[in-house]
Structure 1
Amino acid sequence: MLLITCPVTRTDELVADRRIRSVTSHPTHLAMAVECPACGSVHVYRTGRRWEEARRRVAESGTARAATAAATAASARAAHELTRA
């Protein structure tokens, strides 16, 4: 039995092993296709240490980009205020 969260209904569902449609091994993660009892569609769940590390790096780079954009906007606002004074 597996406990999954359906991305459509956002509910936790207990799923029997027979609902697993495929398991694929990738270099960074495992991908498991599971038939959802809540909505009837097949969802892919990915897991693995390297998958989580890659997701963390992407999230951190997105945060760094957002911080850089915010700093640039603040500098532009300050420069604009100086030109108006």
Structure 2
Amino acid sequence: MLLITCPVTRTDELVADRRIRSIANHPTHVALHVECPQCGAVHVYRTGRRWEQARTRVADRAAAQSAVDAAVVTARAARVGIPA
């Protein structure tokens, strides 16, 4: 049995193993394609330590980039003479 959260309805569902449609082993994660009993769609759930590390790196990069973007906007505004 698996406990999944349906991304469509945002409800937690207990799913039997027979609802797993396929499993894909990737270098960074394992992907489970699971048929959702709530909405009937097939959702992909990824798991693995490397998958979480990769997601963390991407999130950190995005946060750093948004900080740089904000600094650029502030610098441009100061150069043009727009008050902050």
State the superposition RMSD in angstroms: 1.1
TM-score by length of 2: 0.93
Instruction: Name the % identity.
Output: 66
Q: Could you list the runs of 5+ residues in structure 1 that have no partner in the other structure? A: none
Q: What is aligned with 2:52?
A: 52
State whether structure 2 residue 77 is matched by structure 1 residue 77. Answer: yes
Greater gyration radius: 1
Q: Could you list the runs of 5+ residues in structure 2 that have no partner in the other structure? A: none
Whole-angstrom distance in 2 between the partners of 1:54 and 1:37: 30
Alignment length, in residue pairs?
82
The SS at the match of 1:67 is: helix
Q: CA deviation at 1:63?
A: 0.6
TM-score by length of 1: 0.92
State whether structure 2 residue 36 is matched by structure 1 residue 22. Answer: no
Once superposed, which parts of structure 1, at least 4 consecutive aligned residues long, lie more than 3 Å away? none
Query: What does the per-residue CA deviation read over 1:1-34, in whole Å, with 9 as the maximum and x for residues that have no partner?
Result: 1110001111111101111111111110000010
Q: Which amino acid aligns with 2:18?
A: R
